[in-house]
Amino acid sequence: MKPSKDSTPVITYVITSDDVNKRLDVIARVVFPFLQLSQIFQAIRKGVIRVNHQKSKGNVRLIMHDTISYHGVIPEDITKVPEKTSSKVFLSPKINPRMQTEYQHLDILLETSDIVIINKPTSWISHGSPPALTSWLQWKYGTTQSVSFNMSPVHRLDVGTSGANILAKTISGARTASDLLQQHRIKKIYLAIVEGKLEHSIHSSVYLDRINKKTFVSSYASSISSKQAITTIHPLVSTAQYSLVACLIETGRTHQIRAVTAYHHYPLVGDMLYNTPMRARTSSNNQQYFLHCYLLIDESQSLFNTIKAPLPDAFIREMKNLDIFITPSQLLNICTQLL
């Protein structure tokens, strides 16, 4: 690989605060995704990739406002590089008109310079093709100027689960929110519709194992990969067949609420993975299950105080269909008393 002639376009990237002290070869792999790893090393050795227009070593540590430039042959199809690696340097993903309308109407519950908290629809995924939270972040705010940070969800809600979701706009917001979640200083209350009449609260401390994309529950650690899951399930409204429950989780395991409620014989209505009857197949709402992250409480008050995510219309209709409806004011009052 030879350095290009002066007439060849040059791709440049300016180091931001998020990228400071990172190695040249590490940053180059992200900035120039059309190059294979071996080509990155070769381009650095031969001066095709430069720092401040000077040949440099791959292990050099970059500082604020350093400029990385590529002076080699640029493939004609660089805009077709997968979004995960190219979005920061080349083009943002295109959104069709229907999806743009959906993105425009997303319910934003709180926005600061570092985070945005949204009311996630059930059909949205966290990462990937639209409708996705990462795609919405790029559509809303554009691409970030850092290759060391991607705007993304701080905690994940499964597709099928709706509600309050914290998204990080900056690396500072991501670190703060992640630390608070790991320290259990951000409390989360989920609402769920389950089968069976739950009359008393359940405090569950069990162990979970993931096998073939399904979570299995045990009263003991069955393997070295077993993870403890702590969940408290409170009944709010019940009939002989169904209950509206509030779930407080101290751990954030994959499918934790879905697997734990089923383990205690109160599976989510219509959950085709953990509930055998699969009532949702005949539901007029055409929704698989009903699980919603209703409240977020930041005990540190460093990011926010209390965030409430209104219930989706489909969730409200199902509550009414099953005679377990409760007014929004009553619901908020009961749930805040659970903390």
Considering the domain architecture, whether residues 271 and 322 belong to the same structural domain is answered as yes
**Other Cβ atoms within 10 Å of 64 Cβ, number:** 11
CA distances from 92 to 38, 142, 303 (A): 27, 8, 29
* Helix/strand/coil for 84: helix
User: What are the pLDDT digits (tens) for 290-309?
Assistant: 999 999 999 999 999 999 99
What distance in Å separates the CA atoms of residue 265 and residue 317, rounded to the nearest whole number? Answer: 24
Q: What pLDDT score was predicted for residue 81?
A: 40
Considering the domain architecture, whether residues 71 and 109 belong to the same structural domain is answered as no
Considering the domain architecture, whether residues 38 and 137 belong to the same structural domain is answered as no
Considering the domain architecture, whether residues 331 and 188 belong to the same structural domain is answered as yes
Which has more confidence, 65 or 106? Answer: 106
Percentage above 90 pLDDT, the chain: 67
Considering the domain architecture, whether residues 156 and 208 belong to the same structural domain is answered as no
Lowest mean pLDDT across 139-143, 194-198, 298-302: 139-143
Q: Which CATH number fits the domain that encloses residue 323?
A: 3.30.2350.10
Q: What pLDDT score was predicted for residue 214?
A: 92
In a domain, 176, yes or no: no
What distance in Å separates the CA atoms of residue 228 and residue 165, rounded to the nearest whole number? Answer: 23
Q: What pLDDT score was predicted for residue 226?
A: 94
What distance in Å separates the CA atoms of residue 153 and residue 117, rounded to the nearest whole number? Answer: 9
Catalytic entry in 18, 158, 179, 298: 158
Look up residue 19 and give its DSSP letter. G
Lowest mean pLDDT across 29-43, 73-87, 110-124, 219-233: 73-87
Considering the domain architecture, whether residues 36 and 142 belong to the same structural domain is answered as no
Predicted confidence band of residue 83 (pLDDT cuts 50, 70, 90): very low
In a domain, 194, yes or no: yes
- Position 183 pLDDT exceeds 70: yes
- Position 77 pLDDT exceeds 60: no
Predicted confidence band of residue 88 (pLDDT cuts 50, 70, 90): very low
Q: What pLDDT score was predicted for residue 138?
A: 87
Residue 166 lies in domain: 97-171
Q: What pLDDT score was predicted for residue 280?
A: 44
Q: Which CATH number fits the domain that encloses residue 20?
A: 3.10.290.10
User: What are the pLDDT digits (tens) for 309-339?
Assistant: 999 999 999 999 999 999 999 999 999 999 8
Size of the chain, expressed as the number of residues it contains: 339
Q: What pLDDT score was predicted for residue 160?
A: 93
Which has more confidence, 26 or 9? Answer: 26
Considering the domain architecture, whether residues 107 and 145 belong to the same structural domain is answered as yes
Q: Is 298 a catalytic residue?
A: no
In a domain, 154, yes or no: yes
Q: What is the mean pLDDT of residues 253-258?
A: 95
Q: What pLDDT score was predicted for residue 286?
A: 59
Considering the domain architecture, whether residues 162 and 198 belong to the same structural domain is answered as no
In a domain, 87, yes or no: no
In a domain, 33, yes or no: yes
Considering the domain architecture, whether residues 152 and 198 belong to the same structural domain is answered as no
In a domain, 189, yes or no: yes
Percentage above 70 pLDDT, the chain: 88
Q: Which of 30, 53, 81 is the last residue of a domain?
A: 81
Q: What pLDDT score was predicted for residue 91?
A: 43
Lowest mean pLDDT across 9-18, 177-186, 275-284: 275-284
User: What are the pLDDT digits (tens) for 258-276?
Assistant: 999 999 999 999 898 998 7
In a domain, 177, yes or no: no
The bridge status of strand 214-218 relative to strand 202-211 is antiparallel
Considering the domain architecture, whether residues 102 and 74 belong to the same structural domain is answered as no
Considering the domain architecture, whether residues 223 and 315 belong to the same structural domain is answered as yes
The domain tally of the chain equals 3
Considering the domain architecture, whether residues 323 and 238 belong to the same structural domain is answered as yes
Which has more confidence, 228 or 81? Answer: 228
Q: Which of 49, 81, 113 is the last residue of a domain?
A: 81
Q: Which of 171, 199, 222 is the last residue of a domain?
A: 171
In a domain, 86, yes or no: no
User: What are the pLDDT digits (tens) for 96-138?
Assistant: 888 889 999 999 999 999 999 999 999 999 988 889 999 999 8
What distance in Å separates the CA atoms of residue 285 and residue 331, rounded to the nearest whole number? Answer: 22
